[in-house]
């Protein structure tokens, strides 16, 4: 009798352990599928993009001092975790002491909120006396609240007699935005356009139904 009872207890324990294992594995699979669905839902969230342009003024200091003035455009992906901004600028720089004028065009990018900006520029300089210099160079900076502190180096070629051009320099610029535009990503824009068309169709259908009801009412009145 005791042996049968012991065998029955073993059988019951093995059955309960097997059922618990199946329930645990099923819960893990379910939780994993929920996590995957949440991740897919989070990854398919709306994305907002900002595009603006404006004016920049700055002061450049190296072996010579230049005043900077020009325009800049920004393309920004707005996000909570990893925002991204790309800028393109075209500006003129002038040295009053030696009467040197320069034209510079460049691009830079920044990922994150407090990270550095990384970019490159092309440059042309002229002293109004037939001497010219041109070059290209990298630039690293820090941008905050419209201010952009840039440290760069110019690899110059051309007339070496024009020795007042800056090779290693530091520039502080301020950006005045003139126009801001916000757009959603293409998928969200298509959904919005689809909803807008559906609303327009419903509105037209309501107006059509209303006009038909008015016509029916007039006919009933005359028939009476």
For residue 138, the domain's CATH number is 2.40.160
Confidence of residue 222 (pLDDT cuts 50, 70, 90): low
pTM above 0.85, yes or no: no
In a domain, 15, yes or no: no
Confidence of residue 199 (pLDDT cuts 50, 70, 90): confident
* Residue 166, C-beta contacts closer than 8 angstroms, at least 6 positions apart: 60, 62, 63, 64, 66, 154
Dihedral angle computed from the Cα positions of residues 175, 176, 182 and 186, in that order, rounded to the nearest 10 degrees:
-40
Model confidence over 142-166: pLDDT tens digits?
A: 998 889 999 999 999 999 999 889 9
- Give the residue with greater pLDDT, 35 vs 97: 97
- Residue 208 has a pLDDT of 79
Tell me how many domains the chain contains.
1
Long-range pairs for 155-161 at CB < 8 Å and ≥24 separation?
A: 156/123, 156/125, 157/133, 158/125, 158/131, 158/132, 158/133, 158/134, 159/131, 159/132, 159/133, 161/131
In a domain, 207, yes or no: no
In a domain, 206, yes or no: no
In a domain, 30, yes or no: no
Confidence of residue 79 (pLDDT cuts 50, 70, 90): confident
In a domain, 221, yes or no: no
DSSP labels for the chain?
A: -HHHHHHHHHHHHHHHHHHHHHHHHHHHHHHHHHHHHHHHHHHTS--EEEEEEEEEEEEEESSSEEEEEEEEEEEEEE-SSS-EEEEEEEEEEEETTTTEEEEEEEEEEEESSSPPEEEEEEEEEE-SSS-EEEEEEEEEEEEETTEEEEEEE-EEEE-TT-TTS-SEEEEEEEEEEEEEEEEE-HHHHHHHHHHHHHHHHHHHHHHHHHHHHHHHHHHHHHH-
- Give the residue with greater pLDDT, 148 vs 188: 148
Per-residue exposure over 153-192, b if at least 16 CB sit within 10 Å of its own CB, e if not:
bbebeebeebebbbeebebebebeeeeeeeeeeeeeeeee
In a domain, 23, yes or no: no
- Residue 150 has a pLDDT of 96
Full domain range(s) for residue 63: 49-183
In a domain, 132, yes or no: yes
Whole-number average pLDDT of the chain:
78
In a domain, 90, yes or no: yes
Q: Per mean pLDDT, which of 32-36, 46-50, 121-125, 156-160 is the most reliable?
A: 121-125
């Amino acid at each position: 009798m005791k042996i049968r009872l012991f065998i029955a207890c073993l059988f019951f324990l093995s059955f309960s352990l097997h059922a618990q294992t199946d329930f645990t594995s099923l819960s893990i699979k379910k939780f994993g599928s929920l996590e995957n669905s949440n991740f897919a839902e989070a990854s398919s969230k709306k994305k907002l993009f900002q595009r603006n342009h404006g004016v920049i003024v700055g002061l450049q200091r190296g072996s010579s001092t230049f005043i900077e003035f020009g325009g800049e455009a920004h393309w920004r992906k707005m996000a909570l975790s990893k925002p991204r901004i790309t800028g393109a600028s075209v500006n003129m720089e002038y040295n009053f002491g030696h009467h040197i004028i320069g034209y510079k065009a460049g691009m830079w990018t920044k990922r994150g909120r407090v990270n550095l900006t990384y970019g490159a520029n092309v440059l042309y300089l002229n002293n109004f006396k037939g001497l010219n210099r041109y070059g290209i160079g990298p630039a690293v900076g820090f941008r905050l609240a419209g201010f952009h502190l840039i440290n760069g180096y110019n690899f110059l070629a051309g007339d070496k007699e024009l020795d007042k051009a800056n090779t290693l320099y530091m520039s502080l610029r301020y950006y005045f935005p003139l126009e801001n535009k916000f757009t959603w990503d293409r998928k969200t824009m298509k959904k919005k356009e689809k909803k807008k068309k559906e609303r327009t169709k419903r509105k037209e259908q309501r107006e059509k139904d209303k006009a038909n009801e008015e016509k029916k009412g007039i006919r009933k009145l005359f028939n009476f």
